[in-house]
Amino acid sequence: MKEKDIYVDFEAHKLVYYAEKEDNSYGPIISGSYLSANYLDDHWMKRKNLEEQLRNQVIANEISPILYYMTFLEMGPKDLASRAKMSMRKLSKTFKPEGFNKLRVAQLKLFADIFNIPVSNLFQTFLIKGDDQEKIEMKQAATDNELYHITMINLK
Amino acid sequence: MNNNSFEHKMYAHCETGTLVGLLNNAGYKTTEAMVFGLASGIFFGYLDTKDFPFPTFIVRSRPGEVRENLSKILNIKLNSFKFKDADKGMQKLDDLLAQGIVVGAQVDFFYMDYFPQWMRVHNNVHFINIIGKEGNDYIISDSYHREIAKLDKSLLKKARWAGGTMAPKGFLYYPEKIDLDVDLTKIIPKTIKKAARNMLNIPIPFIGIKGIYKFADKLKTWSKQVRDIEHFSHEIIKINILLEEQGTGGAGFRYMYAAYLKQAGEIMNSPVLNEMSEKIMKIGDDWREISYFAAKIGKNRDLGDDRIAELSDMIRKQGDAEKIFFKELKKVY
């Protein structure tokens, strides 16, 4: 494909593509991502809907936060079991609230590290009301105590 | 400590990009397309295993194979290390950096926090070059990032010992000895034959051309494996991501392989290779049409059986086209 047909003007997400250049040689060009430029709105909408759906299932005690994060992060159970150093059978028990409630703090910490979240986020979700989203900034910072995070909420 | 002479560039793919960066830095000037082609990296495989949350496909050889093949074929001695003990693995990295050595590392992409969160997924086969250290931060040359980046020590440690499928186990490597006078005219024919063999002759029903056909067939069953229409849309749009966006250089590495054959044709003074290069470029264009089509029907939720059958037919035709192409390529040498 010709360079001019591949090139997309999208600053936020750049990639290297290979293309036919003006001099008929083939080589790399840096271009914006076609998908990000044209389909990111749809991606965000689906992510938001999935998050809400999974959150409602956790609230209704149908699934555990472990299954919530595994599904949301598109991880496979075999991969997660290996990272969490447990069998697939044992992992599948943690997908249900009863199994999750039996996990020890050290195991919760391991899951939190895999999901790259504070341990406390396995027990809570922060939601900013729609109208205020643009005005508020939230940041969670680790401390020297690995189980203790500080959540900072600032007005922009 | 920092290796200031290292030239950071963006590349299409992390494994090939890391290798090119290390080789160029060590004095062996090459291109990403040459590294990919010489390592016979072009491939196809349809994967439906418990390792993945949903069926998927690959368009390049097994992660790490490009490095292994290139080292073998170009007679490059690579020093490599894996570590059970993370502290020892971090210390080894610091020791190498202190000697001014730029080090390639395998990491879980999820922890590369210089990318926005929405881009990051757990993927244990991401490769980066680590070029220095400043305080608690490591200086990173990542093929997907426009500038040199910094990564906190604790995140790098998590990323190097992430566990899971294809766990990095702290893997580090760097070229120790490179044969600068290697005769590419003797090597190129072997690499082309090997690539053709990988696509045509591996007796596994989901690998090579057979994998493309398997993908075309199995795609028709995806609707039974999804949670809902939005999940289906997401998986169909991922066809575009896997072909175009995940470090392939476009069209599932077919464009990059076209660039290799073009350069190989010049080295070999072979008009036939030049023609083959144009043919795989055209096949790449058709893969790109599939990518656009998948993204469009995914976004429009136009995912009825007829539309999926149409997409399946397009993929099957790619199987036919690649079968002819690789048979022809195999006969060149």
Length of chain B: 333
Q: List CB contacts (< 8 A) between B240 and chain A.
A: 34-35
pLDDT attached to residue B261:
98
| pLDDT 10s digits, A68-94 | 999 999 999 999 999 999 999 999 999
The CATH number of the domain holding residue B164 is: 3.90.70.10
Same domain, B218 and B146: no
Q: List CB contacts (< 8 A) between B146 and chain A.
A: 14
Whether B180 shows a pLDDT value over 90: the answer reads no
Q: What is the mean pLDDT of residues B288-308?
A: 98
For residue B4, tell me if it sits in a domain.
no
| pLDDT 10s digits, B211-237 | 999 999 999 999 999 999 999 999 999
**Mean model confidence pLDDT for chain A:** 94
Domain boundary among B177, B197, B229: B177
Same domain, B149 and B223: no
For residue B184, tell me if it sits in a domain.
no
For residue B305, tell me if it sits in a domain.
yes
Same domain, B241 and B300: yes
For residue B79, tell me if it sits in a domain.
yes
How far does B51 lie from chain A, in Å, by closest CA? 5
Whether B1 shows a pLDDT value over 70: the answer reads no
What residues in chain A have their Cβ under 8 A from chain B's Cβ atoms? 1, 6, 13-20, 25-28, 30, 33-36, 38-39, 42-43, 46-47, 49-50, 71, 73-80, 82-85, 88, 113-114, 116
Are residues A151 and A140 in contact, defined by beta-carbon separation less than 8 angstroms? yes
Compute the count of residue pairs across chains A and B with CB atoms less than 8 Å apart. Answer: 124
How far does A36 lie from chain B, in Å, by closest CA? 9
Same domain, B37 and B171: yes
Q: What is the reported pTM?
A: 0.94
Please work out, in degrees rounded to the nearest 5, the angle formed at the alpha carbon of residue A21 by the alpha carbons of A18 and A24. Answer: 115
Whether B166 shows a pLDDT value over 80: the answer reads yes
Whether A133 shows a pLDDT value over 90: the answer reads no
**A140 pairs with which residues across the strands?**
A151
Q: Please count the CA atoms within 13 angstroms of the CA of A147 that sit on its side-chain side.
A: 7
| pLDDT 10s digits, B243-288 | 999 999 999 999 999 999 999 999 999 999 999 999 999 999 999 9
More confident residue, B286 or B52: B286
Q: What is the mean pLDDT of residues B148-169?
A: 95
Whether B20 shows a pLDDT value over 70: the answer reads yes
pLDDT attached to residue B4:
67
Same domain, B136 and B216: no
ipTM for the predicted complex: 0.94
CA dihedral (B68, B34, B47, B231) positive or negative? positive
Same domain, B224 and B172: no
Instruction: Determine the Cα–Cα distance for residues B197 and B177; give it in Å rounded to an integer.
Output: 30
Instruction: Determine the Cα–Cα distance for residues A112 and B102; give it in Å rounded to an integer.
Output: 32
pLDDT attached to residue B91:
98
For residue B324, tell me if it sits in a domain.
yes
* Residue B320 structural domain: 208-332
Same domain, B159 and B223: no
Ordered DSSP codes for B231-252: HHHHHHHHHHIIIIISSSSSGG
pLDDT attached to residue A130:
75
Are residues B10 and A14 in contact, defined by beta-carbon separation less than 8 angstroms? yes
Q: What is the mean pLDDT of residues B127-132?
A: 98
Confidence of residue A25 (pLDDT cuts 50, 70, 90): very high
Give the residue among B216, B203, B229 at the shortest CA–CA distance from B317. Answer: B216
From B51, B164, B244, residue closest to A83, measured CB to CB = B164
Same domain, B156 and B20: yes
**Mean model confidence pLDDT for chain B:** 96
Instruction: Determine the Cα–Cα distance for residues B133 and B131; give it in Å rounded to an integer.
Output: 7
Same domain, B115 and B71: yes
pLDDT attached to residue A134:
81
Same domain, B221 and B121: no
pLDDT attached to residue A131:
77
For residue B191, tell me if it sits in a domain.
no
pLDDT attached to residue B105:
98
Same domain, B138 and B257: no
Q: How many domains does chain B have?
A: 2
Whether B197 shows a pLDDT value over 70: the answer reads yes
Q: What is the mean pLDDT of residues B71-87?
A: 96
pLDDT attached to residue B2:
64
B287 contact A CB<8A: no
pLDDT attached to residue B3:
65
Same domain, B61 and B20: yes
B 131-190 residues with CB < 8 A to A = 143-144, 146, 158, 162-165, 167
For residue B152, tell me if it sits in a domain.
yes
3-state SS, residue B211: helix
Give percent of chain B with pLDDT exceeding 90: 94
For residue B260, tell me if it sits in a domain.
yes
Whether B25 shows a pLDDT value over 80: the answer reads yes
Domain boundary among B177, B196, B225: B177
Alpha-helical runs (H) found in B122-205: 153-160, 184-200
Among the ranges given (A7-11, A28-32, A102-106, B4-8), the one the predictor scored with the smallest mean pLDDT = B4-8
Domain boundary among B154, B177, B200: B177
